[in-house]
Amino acid sequence: MDLSQTTATELLNAIAAGQLTAVDLMQETLNRIASVNQSANAIVALRDADTLMAEARALDAGPNRGPLHGLPIAVKDLVEVEGIVSSQGSPIFQDHIPQKDDLIAARMRAAGAILIGKTNTPEFGLGSHTFNPVYGATPNPYDPTRTCGGSSGGAAVALATGMVALADGSDMMGSLRNPAAWNNVYGFRPSWGRVPSEPEGDGFLHQLSTLGPMARSPEDLSVLLDVIAGPDPRHPLGVESPAVSPLGVADMKGMRIGWLDDWGGAFPFEDGIRDLCRDALSVFVDLGAEVVPVAPPFEAERIWDSWVTLRAWNVAAGFVPLTEHRASLKDTAQWELDQGLALTAMQVHRASVIRSDWFRRATEVFQDYDALVLPSAQVWPFEIETPYPTEIAGKRMDTYHRWMEVVVPVSLIGLPCLSVPVGFGVEGLPMGMQVFGPRGSDERILSMGAAYHAATGWPQRRPVG
């Protein structure tokens, strides 16, 4: 069994049909992890093999538990999982073993998944480069001297190397999209509210980050999305989530897709990225869609100003309980804390007014287009020793995260967005592009991705190993 090319849907169907046992799949998974994870460093806090095999045997002996029955999944290390070290990549929590599952882990477990360990992430998920002082760095499987991205970098590498067939992730500033692009897999950021956050602390104010699925096909994304989506009574802003699986393949004939390119020159790019994305757009044209260049629909600088304010407010709120450990926080975390603590209520209000203006303008734009498209990243995977890019094409970056500005128009207003692989650059490194639509169009975006995947199949055409 080649786990690097077999989809989660194929594995789950085989288990349901009695053609594959959870025990056999677990053994293949452990063998694959033993073979590649020493160099990949994508799966951390791996549980005891005998215990995992016993859980697989118990699933084989009992009734079908649900849509993930028997599937091994490693959970992103920002999620608390009962009985597994949940460090968030921080020395502060490197010995923390939760006594209960977070909501997303509980939903996957209840659906029959076997939670085998964690996937590596940057410290506290900050920065699109997966390294931390607890587990170290996770290299790019296509070039181990380069970063795999982040913050769902371990999840993307685990998928690309065939250690898992399905993975969860989270996305505030591209953390499902950037690593998907840089590892030749798919990442889906759902409409905000479709997948509820952990029901603790504030449930009303912060609407930037969301949980979501990663996989080697859009069909697989839909399977996990249905498991983790749906309102929780403790979450005040959750939305109803009609099932998207089994996922249909969109008929692209007559669809209009808007190509935003570099947002009228606002976003600098390294050479080759925009060209590769333009080439990938021809797939939609071949499928019958019309691709139309779109002028910038909103001022990029206003979007950015709103973003840095609301993000700093959000991140700092999460770090306030850790102020006594300030000296143990990495420099970017301390910067975020300082930025957030310095904000006034009216600064936050003004930033949210800009966000609201952009949301209303985007709603108008989507009246003319079924989806909009942007590249998923502005740079190729950079050297693994580099914390973050400080310039792009000669333009200096004024913060540690501005090099990922291209993902912000989606994140700021909570749109559903699929990062699809677009192939490889001249150095053999992967890239992706964002296909996104209005809130609530999750199924349409995924089905467009399914049509694209049927025509391209990049994760299966260029697997790792």
Alpha helices in 131-247 (DSSP H): 153-160, 178-182, 218-228
- Catalytic site residue from 86, 151, 217, 306: 151
Q: One of 90, 128, 175, 209 is an active-site residue; which one?
A: 175
| Residue 73: other Cβ atoms inside 10 A | 25
* Nearest-angstrom CA–CA distance, 16 and 14: 5
Which residues make Cβ contacts (< 8 Å) with residue 431, sequence separation at least 6?
A: 181, 182, 273, 276, 277, 375, 376, 377, 380, 421, 422, 423, 424, 425
352 is annotated as an active-site residue? no
How far apart (Å, rounded) are the C-alpha atoms in residues 32 and 446? 29
How far apart CA 423 and CA 421 sit, in angstroms, is: 6
Rg (CA), the chain: 21
**How many CA atoms lie within 13 Å of 224's alpha carbon, on the beta-carbon side?**
30
**Phi (first) and psi of residue 198, to 5 degrees:** -60, 130
Q: Which of 76, 306, 411, 419 is catalytic?
A: 76
- Count other Cβ atoms within 10 Å, centred on residue 205: 13
Could you please report the per-residue DSSP string of 252-278? -TT-EEEE-TTTTTTS---TTHHHHHH
175 classed as catalytic:
yes
Cβ atoms of 82 and 100 closer than 8 Å? yes
Of all helices (H) and strands (E), which one includes residue 44?
Answer: strand 43-44
Told to judge if 100 belongs to the known catalytic residues of this protein, a careful annotator would answer no
The Cα–Cα gap between 274 and 375 comes to: 7
User: How far is it, in rounded angstroms, from Cα 454 to Cα 459?
Assistant: 11
Please give the positions annotated as active site.
76, 151, 175
